[in-house]
Amino acid sequence: DAHKFSGMVEDCCCDYETVDHLNNEVLHPFLQELVKTPFFRYFKVKLWCDCPFWPDDGMCRLRDCSVCECPENEFPESFKKPHRLPFDDLVCQEGKPEAAVDRTVDTKAFRGWTVIDNPWTNDDETDNAEMTYVNLQLNPERYTGYTGPSARRIWDAVYSENCPKYPSGESCQEERILYKLISGLHSSISIHIAADYLLDEAKNLWGPNLTLMHDRVLKYPDRVRNLYFTFPLCPASCDENYLEQAEYDTGNPNKDLTTQSLMRQLLYNPKLQAACPLPFDEAKLWKGQSGPELKQKIQNQFRNISALMDCIGCEKCRLWGKLQVLGLGTALKILFSVDGKEAVSHTLQLQRNEVIALLNLLNRLSESVRFIHETGSSVDTNIEGE
Ligand code: FAD
């Protein structure tokens, strides 16, 4: 056993071996291809640091922190508008004209996608003002040098105010789920930092830093467990009823066919559905007298976490923080929108950016699980308690 975790993933639907197997055989290879397709590699995001909780502390002046936006000539054809807009109408980011984005793009290029706000996130997804397109392939999530009190303050606020870890027995299942999802995401972010680390600044040499991975994740079994809990949530929320019918149109028929074919293979993979159906029984959640208030409370907490992403003083970390929180929010929106899956498929509407976030989050989690699976046994795992 590669990483010495075995048996059922706590509160989940399948065991560690199954998660690893599904990832290696089904998810990882498909997702790696999928996220490279034009449809999935351009993410629309508001990158301004617009923290609602405290003033910008200007922490991040690091080269590896900044995001490289898309030059206009790089967009898929259908992203573009037929007539050039006057300069004033272009949305530029930090004074860089090449980051200009046509705000009307969405309505034209993504017919068939609804524009609707996600109740789990803070940003109004229907508001295109100040949004920019980022090519995710050019901006990998990795070590940026963002650390110290600024980064610490975000994680502290996430955990202490919005998803506290209660001693066992003192929290309800819904609160435990929120904590585990965030902790699992945190593990995944730490793994990506360690997996793609700046080993030698002078030589600009990047590579895995296994000591860091051990110190931040592997030596805490809970952090590994929470990643294995979070990961199956996303495939479980991939419902073919609305994901297959969606228009994966970027104006490049060949590439779009590839996207559609990969999506179909993913959505209709019998192994995936059978082996890891749902990370928890969503029909049993939010029940009882206080169910509606509890749902409201947890939704508010998650929205606060989403708002905290605007306080991240490092542009690239903010990009991936926002994408992954939107991805998780989308999974929650799908799983918790109505009671029972049947009803969900008829009423639920997803927007393009949510699907992009969901699948890119899934790919990140999949990479993390694979990294743990592959390196877990080669690291001297000196386990400590939380
Ligand atoms: P941190 O990772 O900051 O953890 C703070 C505390 O949280 C720990 O001391 C521990 O008590 C607790 N903790 C740690 N892991 C877990 C877990 N899995 N579950 C529960 N509790 C835990 N830096 C980059 O270099 N690249 C990035 O792309 C990047 N993205 C980020 C995205 C977000 C949303 C945030 C908030 C920060 C990001 N950072 C990124 C910064 C990075 O996450 C760390 O904060 C930074 O590297 C300092 O790490 P640390 O060792 O102090 O511990």
Q: How confident is the model at residue 14 (pLDDT cuts 50, 70, 90)?
A: confident
| CA–CA gap between residue 99 and residue 44 (Å, rounded) | 12
Between 23 and 77, the more confident residue is 23
Q: Ligand 1 atom 45: the closest Cα is on which residue?
A: 151
Q: Is 370 annotated as a binding residue?
A: no
Q: Which pLDDT value is given to residue 2?
A: 45
User: Residue 209's pLDDT is what?
Assistant: 96
CA 170 to ligand 1 center in whole angstroms: 26
Q: Which residues contact 248 (CB under 8 A, 6 or more apart)?
A: 37, 39, 256, 259, 260, 263
- pLDDT-based confidence at residue 286 (cuts at 50, 70, 90): low
> CB of 227 closer than 6 A to ligand 1?
no
Confidence at residue 139, expressed as pLDDT on a 0 to 100 scale: 84
Flag the least confident range among 7-16, 224-233, 269-278: 269-278
Ligand 1 atom with least separation from CA of 158? 36
Does ligand 1 come within 6 angstroms of the Cβ of 144?
yes
Average pLDDT, the chain: 76
- Residue 3 in marked binding region: no
Q: How far apart are CA 139 and CA 315, in angstroms?
A: 10
Q: Whose CA is nearest to atom 17 of ligand 1?
A: 183
pLDDT reported for residue 65:
63
Number of H helices, E strands in the chain: 15, 6
Answer yes or no: is 63 a known binding residue: no
Work out the pLDDT band at 350, boundaries 50, 70, 90.
Answer: confident
Residue 183 Cβ inside 6 Å of ligand 1? The answer reads yes
Distance (Å, whole) CA 252 – CA 208: 35
Ligand 1 centroid to 137 CA: how many Å? 22
Tell me: is residue 186 an annotated ligand-binding position. Answer: yes
Q: How many angstroms separate the Cα of 22 from the Cα of each of 19, 217, 281, 360?
A: 5, 22, 20, 17
CA–centroid distance, residue 226 to ligand 1 (Å): 15
What b-and-e string marks burial along 319-356, b requiring 16 or more CB atoms within 10 Å of the CB?
bbbbbbbbbbbbbbbbbbbeeebeebeeebebbbbbbb
pLDDT class of 72 with cuts at 50, 70, 90: low
Nearest CA to ligand 1 atom 38: 317
Q: Does 275 sit in the ligand 1 pocket, CB within 6 Å? A: no
Question: Per-residue pLDDT tens for 139-164?
Answer: 889 998 888 888 899 999 999 877 77
Residues above pLDDT 90, as percent of the chain: 27
- Ligand 1 centroid from CA 301, angstroms: 19
Q: 3-state SS of 264-317? A: HHHHCCHHHHHHCCCCCCHHHCCCCCCHHHHHHHHHHHHHHHHHHHHHCCCHHH
CA of 185 to the centre of ligand 1 (A): 10
Q: Has residue 105 got a pLDDT over 70?
A: no
The ipTM of this complex is 0.99
Any atom of ligand 1 within 6 Å of the Cβ of 150: no
Ligand 1 site, residue 216, Cβ cutoff 6 A: yes
Catalytic residue positions, numbered: 314, 317
| pLDDT above 60 (res 309) | yes
Q: Is 155 annotated as a binding residue?
A: yes
pLDDT in tens, 17-52: 888 988 998 899 999 999 999 889 888 888 776 777
Does the pLDDT of residue 327 top 80, yes or no? Answer: yes
Q: Which amino acid is at 100?
A: A
Least confident range of 37-51, 204-218, 295-309, 343-357: 343-357
Q: What whole-number percentage of the chain has pLDDT above 70?
A: 67
Residue 321 Cβ contacting ligand 1 at under 6 Å? yes
